[in-house]
Amino acid sequence: MDPSPPAFLRFEAVGKRYDDVHAVRDVSLDICSGEFVALVGASGSGKSTLLKCINRLVEPTSGRVLLDGEDVLAGPPAPLRRRIGYVFQGIGLFPHMSVAENIALTPRLEGERLPEARIAELLELVELDPAMATRLPAELSGGQRQRVGVARALAGDSHLLLMDEPFGALDPITRGQLGERVRRLHDDLGLTTVMVTHDMAEALLLATRVLVMDAGQIVADETPAALLAGAGGDIAQALVDVPRAQARQLARTSEGIGE
């Protein structure tokens, strides 16, 4: 029999220690091509550290991460990062560079010039006017800036998109719109996406699979439907209870208004 193909992304007993802080402990899991995975958990649970083990912003102290069957530490970091789109926590644009320069940055670090037409195409993908290419980040709204952050992450033709609390700094309406846009891009471009968020509602609405992290470990690995049906254990359910209670309260309020 043929051996089964390697997972698109595989974590093998990945651990990361900072002196006596165990940021990530013994994480093993496979992510298939096309999945939209949300990594949810309290602040300090190790989400960002685990995400950064994929694009080598962090090197594990034990275990390894395989992309397409190959250890991410095997080659030089630049071509690896070219294949992996990364949307930073917060905004993460360079303030002294134009929108176009920010988007073209990763390819430029590898000596490649991104054509103007490609920059316009990337801006259209995130529903921004290509005329914004010459603006500075300070001349954009928070939502527009994070759209540029997503365009930059897609500039390298990557099939793997990593996002660290991408919408955390945005107002709820902008946040919802941009989340939906990213989910559509994920579907249309055939991406595999890993999104870190502390917001379970966002995870349930956007992801196909939700991983819950606590104290460096994955404590639940469920679909949104399974989580909503009560699966995943106490820590996961405590997180699901937040949007569930809000939904109940909203329903009661609207009944009150209807009376």
| Residue ranges in contact with ligand ADP by CB under 6 A | 18, 21, 23, 41, 43-49
| Nearest distance in Å: CB 258, ligand ADP | 41
Which residues share a beta bridge with 21?
Answer: 18
Partner whose binding site includes residue 107, from Mg ion, ligand ADP, none (CB under 5 to 8 Å by kind): none
Judged by beta carbon distances under 5 to 8 A according to partner kind, the member of ligand ADP, Mg ion, none in contact with residue 197 is none
x/- letters, 16..55, toward Mg ion (CB under 5 A):
--------------------------------x-------
Residue keyed to tokens 């990337």: 122
The interface partner of residue 94, options being ligand ADP, Mg ion, none and the CB cut-off 5 to 8 Å by kind, is none
For ligand ADP, give the closer residue by CB, 97 or 201. 201
Helices in the chain by DSSP H: which ranges?
47-52, 77-83, 99-103, 105-109, 116-125, 142-154, 172-189, 200-206, 224-228, 233-258
User: In terms of CB distance, is 48 or 158 closer to Mg ion?
Assistant: 48
Which residue number, 49 or 144, has a Cβ lying nearer to ligand ADP? 49
Contact 210, 224 (CB under 8 A): yes
Per-residue b/e over 142-165, b at no fewer than 16 CB within 10 Å? ebbbbbbbbbbbbbbebbbbbbbb
- Least distance from C-beta 80 to ligand ADP, angstroms? 20
Query: Cβ of residue 47: shortest distance to ligand ADP, in angstroms?
Result: 4
From Mg ion, ligand ADP, none, interface partner of 23 (C-beta below 5 to 8 A by class): ligand ADP
CA distance 40 to 246: 18
Would you say the C-alpha torsion 32, 162, 174, 139 has a positive or negative sign? negative
| Nearer to Mg ion (CB atom), residue 48 or residue 106 | 48
In the bound state with Mg ion, the residue whose beta carbon lies nearer, of 60 and 100, is 60
Residues 6 or more apart whose CB falls under 8 angstroms from that of 214 comprise 41, 42, 45, 235
Shortest Cβ distance from residue 186 to ligand ADP (Å)?
Answer: 21
* Burial (Cβ within 10 Å: 0-12, 13-18, ≥19) of residue 118: middle
Residues that bind Mg ion (CB under 5 A): 48
